[in-house]
A and B are shown apart, each in its own frame.
Chain A
Amino acid sequence: TQLLEQSPQFLSIQEGENLTVYCNSSSVFSSLQWYRQEPGEGPVLLVTVVTGGEVKKLKRLTFQFGDARKDSSLHITAAQPGDTGLYLCAGAGETSGSRLTFGEGTQLTVNP
């Protein structure tokens, strides 16, 4: 069974601070996705990383896929209240086909 562990589970910071969310596993994934979910809504895809060591940037968000494709991180620079939400990582296994394994999520609150 593939598992993805996210840390921290909860994060409350002040506007303007930087933060990093981690997603770790003992399994290798063919690709890894990051989603953001607002209350009462479905997850919305932020990025997909495929290659070990890959770094992708989306405005103030930087996503990195570990060299061994077992872990990933999301770094937010100068966080804003609009960044508040549940951040989920999800991995597509090399043998699980289209079945995504989701982490438990990181609930981020950015206070003005």
Chain B
Amino acid sequence: NAGVMQNPRHLVRRRGQEARLRCSPMKGHSHVYWYRQLPEEGLKFMVYLQKENIIDESGMPKERFSAEFPKEGPSILRIQQVVRGDSAAYFCASSPFVGGQDNSPLHFGNGTRLTVT
């Protein structure tokens, strides 16, 4: 039973390029969450999606960032025109139901480490 799969593990982009981060949730999980972690900091919520729907994007920057979770295929976090401040580890998590509850823990992937040069 594969866990949450994220790719690539490491991504290097130059300023102004686009970054596309992929997340395949655990089998049977229809809830996906994206978090960002800066060095020596906790995780900051970005967006919560269910299949084909964005449920909560209150943590997403208003510009350059977008996320989708199509009916088929992985969830994608897209960052356009990257800047150095976007350098961070981006983690995806999935849950079978609404996450954070006792019966629906979040399962995290191993993250994508984005470096903007």
Interface, chain A (partner B; CB < 8 A):
4, 6, 30-31, 33, 35, 40-45, 48, 50, 88, 90, 92, 97-105, 107
B48 at the interface (CB under 8 A from A): yes
Interface, chain B (partner A; CB < 8 A):
4, 31, 33, 35, 40-45, 48, 55-56, 58-59, 91, 93, 95, 98-102, 105-111
Question: B45 touching A97 by the CB < 8 A rule?
Answer: no
Question: B102 touching A42 by the CB < 8 A rule?
Answer: no
Query: Which are the 7 A-B pairs with shortest beta-carbon distances?
Result: A42-B108, A92-B100, A102-B42, A102-B43, A104-B42, A98-B99, A98-B98
Q: Which residues of B contact A50 (CB under 8 A)?
A: 101-102
Tell me the smallest distance from the CB of B52 to a CB of chain A, in Å.
17
Question: B31 touching A98 by the CB < 8 A rule?
Answer: yes
The total number of A-B Cβ pairs within 8 Å is: 78
Tell me the smallest distance from the CB of B71 to a CB of chain A, in Å.
21
Q: Which residues of B contact A41 (CB under 8 A)?
A: 110-111
Q: In the complex, what distance in Å separates the CA atom of A42 from the CA atom of B89? A: 10
Question: B102 touching A40 by the CB < 8 A rule?
Answer: no
Q: In the complex, what distance in Å separates the CA atom of A6 from the CA atom of B41? A: 11
Q: In the complex, what distance in Å separates the CA atom of A99 from the CA atom of B44? A: 10
Q: In the complex, what distance in Å separates the CA atom of A97 from the CA atom of B7? A: 27
Q: What are 5 A-B residue pairs whose CB atoms fall within 8 Å in the complex? A: A31-B101, A41-B111, A98-B56, A104-B42, A105-B41
Question: B105 touching A99 by the CB < 8 A rule?
Answer: no
Q: In the complex, what distance in Å separates the CA atom of A41 from the CA atom of B70? A: 26
Tell me the smallest distance from the CB of B34 to a CB of chain A, in Å.
11
Q: In the complex, what distance in Å separates the CA atom of A33 from the CA atom of B4? A: 19
Residue in A31, A42, A104, A105 whose CB lies within 8 Å of B100: A31
Tell me the smallest distance from the CB of B109 to a CB of chain A, in Å.
5
